[in-house]
């Protein structure tokens, strides 16, 4: 049953990313091992809701966070729903399982002043690497795209006449992200520098961002570029591309952007995923109130 479910996820690759499939597979194998050890059951399809609850309790007692456990519950829900729809089980045991409440996680972000300092004051130097690295930082911060989306951009995904970039997001869902005048100019200025590298290396890499050897850029390199440059202006312990995504959303919210617009720009499937960014706006309102109200 488990193997059939994983094959189903893999075949439905327009909906499930490789990362999701790998995570679900790992979680379900872990559950299967738990059942085998404690209940001598090798097939998760035979598990009752009592057995599932005991697994959740065991994870809590071992120190797993509610956030981690909820991810594993999501895998189980998908699995048992798959079995139920195909009438491979009599009833769905997950209907009697309640997920633990996860503590609200507020995303970290880089201050606007720090980003302004990095992009306006820091000297990146000259040459291809300098131009590319600064542009990567600008693109992530001014569009909010994921690192996987950035590394997948092709030259023809950028429409300079309409000032927009076509993004292939999670589950192959496409969205269009506008590029402001400053970013559009930087992207355009990068093209001849990129072409020179391709010519020197006799390469034809299709991706917009490339390495010094003319190959398609890879995520680990982008992580290193972001971390090293954010270290110049921020003491935040997390300095990843995803931090720039958080910073993009936070900046928009602090400047009055509508939540639905931010949701569409980020490529979130639901509004709930975007609402976490409202905390910064609330903090800003509190600050304004404290300084402006005579009785505050």
Of residues 123 and 295, more confidently modeled: 123
Domain ranges in the chain? Answer: 2-96, 112-289
Give percent of the chain with pLDDT exceeding 90.
60
Q: Does the domain at residues 112-289 carry the CATH identifier 1.10.443.10? A: yes
Which residue did the predictor score with more confidence, 268 or 196? 196
d(CA 275, CA 236): 22
CATH level 3 topology of 2-96: DNA polymerase; domain 1 (1.10.150)
Statement: residue 272 has pLDDT above 90? no
pLDDT band at 296, cuts 50/70/90?
very low
- pLDDT-based confidence at residue 65 (cuts at 50, 70, 90): confident
Note the pLDDT tens digit of each residue in 150-197.
999 999 999 999 999 999 888 788 999 999 878 999 999 999 999 999
Where do we find the tokens 């040459």?
127
| Structure-token pair, residue 259 | 């939540």
For residues 55 and 44, the answer to whether their CB atoms sit within 8 Å is no
Query: Comparing 2-96 with 112-289, is the CATH topology the same?
Result: no
**Residues with a known catalytic role:** 146, 170, 242, 245, 268, 277
Q: Ramachandran region of residue 144, left (φ > 0), alpha (ψ -120 to 50) or beta?
A: left
pTM: 0.65
Burial of 141 (0-12, 13-18, 19+ CB in 10 A): buried
Nearest residue to 208 via CA among 253, 166, 248: 166
CA distance between the termini of the chain: 62
Residue 233 to residue 244: CA distance in whole angstroms: 13
């Amino acid at each position: 049953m488990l193997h059939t479910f994983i094959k189903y996820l893999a075949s439905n690759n327009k909906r499930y990313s490789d990362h999701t499939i790998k995570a679900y597979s790992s979680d379900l194998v872990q559950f299967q091992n738990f059942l085998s050890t404690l209940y001598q059951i090798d097939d998760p399809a035979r598990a009752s809701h009592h057995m599932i609850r005991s697994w959740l309790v065991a994870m809590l007692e071992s120190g797993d966070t509610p956030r981690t456990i909820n991810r594993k519950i999501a895998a189980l829900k998908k699995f048992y729903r798959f079995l139920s729809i195909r009438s491979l089980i009599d009833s769905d045991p997950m209907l009697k399982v309640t997920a633990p409440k996860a503590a609200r996680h507020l995303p970290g972000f880089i201050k606007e002043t720090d980003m302004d300092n990095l992009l306006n004051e820091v000297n990146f130097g000259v040459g291809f690497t300098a131009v590319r690295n600064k542009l990567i930082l600008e693109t992530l911060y001014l569009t909010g795209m994921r690192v996987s989306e950035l590394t997948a951009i092709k030259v023809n995904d950028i429409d300079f006449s309409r000032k927009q970039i076509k993004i292939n997001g999670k589950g192959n869902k496409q969205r269009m992200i506008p590029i402001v005048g400053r970013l559009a100019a930087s992207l355009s200025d990068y093209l001849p520098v990129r072409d020179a590298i391709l010519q020197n290396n006799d390469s034809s890499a299709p991706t917009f961002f490339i390495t010094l050897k003319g190959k398609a850029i890879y995520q680990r390199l982008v992580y290193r570029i972001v971390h090293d440059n954010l270290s110049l202006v921020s003491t935040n312990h997390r300095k990843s591309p995803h931090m720039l995504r958080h910073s993009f959303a936070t900046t928009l919210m602090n400047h009055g952007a509508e939540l639905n617009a931010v949701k569409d720009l980020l490529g979130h499937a639901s509004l709930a995923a975007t609402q976490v960014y409202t905390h910064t706006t609330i903090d800003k309102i509190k600050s304004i109130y404290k300084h402006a109200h005579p009785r505050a």
